[in-house]
Amino acid sequence: MSYSDAFEVLKENRIIDDKLAGRLKEMAKFRNFLVHRYAFVQKEKLVEIVKQDIKDIEEFVRIVLRLIKK
């Protein structure tokens, strides 16, 4: 199972919605790119992506914390 697959499982189990799952799956793909091709990443592009996607990460963390507290 890949990082991307994990978000699909969370979506199927209605833990996260379709939109968030899609965005998190894209982040997982970018993470793989960073790990394997980090020398080719432009610093400016990385900063832009992090600024853009931080809200999705924060939303995911809130969902996980809510589940843990149950």
Query: For position 29, what pLDDT does the model report?
Result: 86
Query: Using CA atoms, how far apart are residues 51 and 65, in angstroms rounded to an integer?
Result: 22
With a CB cutoff of 8 Å and minimum separation 6, the contacts of 11 are 17, 18, 20, 21
34, 9 in Cβ contact below 8 A?
no
The HSE-up count of residue 55 (CA atoms within 13 Å, CB side) is 4
Give the chain's length. Answer: 70
Query: For position 55, what pLDDT does the model report?
Result: 93
What are the pLDDT tens digits along the chain (70 aa)? 888 899 999 999 999 999 999 999 988 888 888 888 877 888 888 888 888 889 999 999 999 999 999 8
Query: For position 15, what pLDDT does the model report?
Result: 96
Q: Is the pTM above the cut of 0.85? A: no
CA dihedral 14, 20, 26, 27 (to 10 degrees): -110
Query: For position 20, what pLDDT does the model report?
Result: 97
